[in-house]
A and B are shown apart, each in its own frame.
Chain A
Amino acid sequence: MHDDELFERFVTERVDVLLRYGYVLTGNPHDAADLVQEALVRLRGGWERVRRKHDPEAYVKTTMSRLHVNSWRLRRREQVTAEPPDRTWLDSPYEGSALWDTLARLPRRQRAVLVLRYYEQLTDAEIAVVLGISRGTVRSQASRALDKLRGDLPAIAASLGSKA
């Protein structure tokens, strides 16, 4: 199969998974869509090399994680972008619990650590590699993030309960 066809197939098969990851990582459907698109653009540029040497999905997720943690959107807004924000991305926004709201107030890196640990189920060592930080930093970021979530505990407990 031709490289372009393989890329096409990868996008078709994995885009939903990537959008899910982008959504829990950013908490925002527009950011998720932008992040996936940008990471796929970068994958497209290096597709042959990536496909031969790596797991393309892990590659894209790593790119997404790092772009997000490094405040890529901030930089990108300073550049000229051709497309205006596209409403078609918006599907059904998640009206999550207080826990979801609290996640939104975490610094990006702390949130990324929690998402990699509790959504992607990676070990701290794997998370350290994905984000390019030390294991100690992974642990301290996770612990700070959990402390902060725990700080909102009564609100979380009450709101989880009220969703009955």
Chain B
Amino acid sequence: MNADLEKSLAEELARAAGHAPRPAHDLRARIEAGHRRRRRTGTALSAAAVAVLSAAVTVVITVAVTVAASPPVPVATRPSPTFEPSAPATADPALPPVEKVWPGALHTVPRNLPNGQELHPERFLDDRSLLVRTLDVDRIDALWAYDVRKRTARRLVDVRSPRGTVVTAPFVAVGDGLLAWWTLRRERNARVVEIWTAPVTGGSQRKVATLKDAPQGIDLTIAGGRLVWSPWGREGVYRMPLTGGAAKPVAGSAGHTLLAWPWAARPRPGVRKGGNVTFGDLVDLRTGAREQAPVTIGACSLTWCVSGRTAMRRDGGGRRELPGDATAGDVPALDRFALLSRRGADSVLYDLAGAKGGMLRSTGYTPVLDYRMPGLLTYMRGGEQVVVNLKAIR
């Protein structure tokens, strides 16, 4: 996931750069005018501006020295971004497509609801009801139950976010008859996360918690009759009753991040301190039992560890070669699925438990599989979106 995001970022920035403005025809005259104005008003320049300028001068010396060893490729000569992979030495052997491997797990849903809003699949509530969200720009606007057989949608919750909300939860938690999500806003320069619930059968939202001095967001689940979460960018696992109350740190969770209740692990994704294996050290928060990873690099879920083209169980058994490369740092989703990239443009959805994989024929960008995603993989094919119900794969 990290590497995917980083790759997307690099591609997006390079693509955007192609839309930069052209220089003004009188740029040279403008520079001269600015130069003269600056000389005239030089003494009136704000101290801050001078500080910035002189700091920049000092700093460049070091940059020049540092960069001299390996000069950055000038932007102008950098190859334009492309989605064509470099020519493979040998192509990976073909695998059957996912629709052949797991026909019962695939559903096709439209891109938009009849009202025109884009439909974003979230998770399956049962065999045929798909929880979907619609967005107002990037915030949750409503939650719906989409019937994949009848192809109809029923509005479950009108989501109302507090004024000033900047982020809403990327994943909706489900459990104990409830839907739960969070919103993030700023209040007097401090971040505030609010947690909301609504009945899974539909109804009004209810605010159950306000977390002050909050992180940028939380990974929220419902487990054991409680709300359980880990803060983004920090560690620890916290919980509170579904009806609200005081947030309490779970004993023994310090330094760890929620993986799947009752398991927490460290180091969290994107953090190298504490080892090169994402979620390599596992702890059962109920019993305090601990387990280590059998590998020195890679990423682990509860049962599986992947690294490059190899996977094995945490107990060291079940070692297998993968038909593609696992994205570095990606934790297997639902404790068994990995998205592999291959020579050529294909990606492969691979089931570590069943030791089978199917090729994804996405007509859009490479899909993303995140361990926090509640059991779905979605990608575009033609004008529709394909939803793979990972929980339906036995």
Contact = CB atoms under 8 A, between A and B. Distances in A.
Contact of B60 (A55, A75, A83): A55
A21 B6 CA distance: 18
A8 B363 CA distance: 46
A26 B122 CA distance: 33
Interface centre among B34, B73, B370, by most chain A C-beta atoms within 10 angstroms, is: B34
B8 A45 contact: no
Interface in A125-143: 125-126, 129-130, 132, 143
A129 B48 contact: no
A130 B59 contact: yes
Contact of B378 (A16, A126, A157): A157
Interface residues of A, number: 90
B20 A16 contact: yes
Interface in B32-57: 32-35, 37-39, 46, 48-49, 52-53, 55-57
Nearest to B77: A17
A129 B138 contact: no
Interface in B98-121: 111, 118, 120
B5 A44 contact: no
A91 B18 CA distance: 11
Contact of A149 (B5, B25, B72, B111): B5
Interface residues of B, number: 82
A78 to B, nearest CB: 9
A33 B24 contact: yes
A67 B379 CA distance: 40
B251 interface: no
A160 B17 contact: no
Given A20-B20, A118-B13, A82 B37 contact: yes
A154 B365 contact: no
Nearest to A23: B20
A102 B138 contact: yes
A144 B74 contact: no
B206 to A, nearest CB: 23
B365 A163 contact: yes
B16 to A, nearest CB: 5
Contacts of B56: 59, 62-63, 66
Given A126-B67, A154-B133, 18 more contacts: A23-B16, A23-B17, A36-B23, A41-B35, A42-B38, A45-B35, A70-B52, A75-B49, A82-B33, A100-B16, A115-B13, A118-B10, A122-B72, A129-B62, A148-B167, A151-B167, A152-B170, A158-B120
Interface of A: 8, 11, 15-17, 19-24, 27, 29-30, 32-33, 36-38, 40-42, 44-46, 50, 53-55, 57-59, 62-63, 66-67, 70, 72, 75, 82-83, 86, 88-94, 96-103, 105, 114-115, 118-122, 125-126, 129-130, 132, 143-144, 146-158, 160-164
Interface of B: 1-2, 5-6, 8-10, 12-25, 27-28, 30-35, 37-39, 46, 48-49, 52-53, 55-57, 59-64, 66-67, 72-76, 111, 118, 120, 122, 133, 135, 137-138, 166-167, 170-171, 216-217, 232-233, 270-271, 362-365, 367-368, 370, 378-380, 385
